[in-house]
Amino acid sequence: MALEIERKFLVDHIPAAVDGARLELEQGYLAADANGIEVRLRRSGSEFLLGVKYKVAAMSRVEVELPIGEEEFGELWPATVGARLCKTRRTLTCDDQVFYIDDYHNDLAGLVTAEIEFGSESEAEEFRPPSWLGPEITGVEAYKNRTLAQAGLPVGVTT
């Protein structure tokens, strides 16, 4: 079982030291429910994935990603109309911690978030965010990717 333990923040400003390649991601949701279960498709370059996530604890979710072929992806992609998003992902390593910085596009343009993954919930709870991170949005339904893909930016949010 692949367990994902993460915290998510809005980004006030992107540090100059962002390293790693830019990764262009497209994702679309086949199914998502109010209990946090989601089934998604993701395309990154020539890589195609079918992913399933579900919540098991406050900051922990099971995440399973299975590679699929381009043909299967193409057959399933139309089912995600109305529940898609595009973003550019970059990485930053700071104090031995890896940050995944997502810069959203299209209707979500201007939204920038950072996710940090941890080995345990206690490690996640002990994490102190650096000054370049803005408000924490871990667990905030309006900022979950599946919600952003379906509903757009939260009401009242300007980027």
Local confidence band at 157 (pLDDT 50, 70, 90 cut-offs): low
**Catalytic residue list:** 29
pLDDT at 159 over 80: no
CA 49 from chain centre, in angstroms, equals: 14
List Cα–Cα distances, 52 to 61, 92, 102, 105, in angstroms: 10, 26, 20, 23
Local confidence band at 20 (pLDDT 50, 70, 90 cut-offs): low
pTM, whole model, 2 decimals? 0.91
Average model confidence (pLDDT) for the chain? 91
pLDDT digits (tens, 9 = 90+) for 50-89: 999 998 877 889 999 999 999 999 999 999 999 999 999 9
pLDDT digits (tens, 9 = 90+) for 112-131: 999 999 999 999 999 999 99
9, burial (CB in 10 Å: exposed 0-12, middle 13-18, buried 19+): buried
Q: Rounded to the nearest 5°, which phi and psi values hold at 18?
A: -65, 125
| Tokens read off for 42 | 């993701």
How high is the pLDDT of residue 158?
A: 55
Phi-psi region of 95 (alpha: psi -120 to 50; beta: other; left: phi over 0): left
Coil/strand/helix, residue 29:
strand
The CATH superfamily assigned to 3-150 is Hypothetical Protein Pfu-838710-001 (2.40.320.10)
Q: What is the DSSP string of 73-117?
A: HHHHGGGGTTSEEEEEEEEEEETTEEEEEEEE-GGGTT-EEEEEE
pLDDT at 19 over 80: no
Taking the domains of the chain in order of start, what are their residue ranges? 3-150
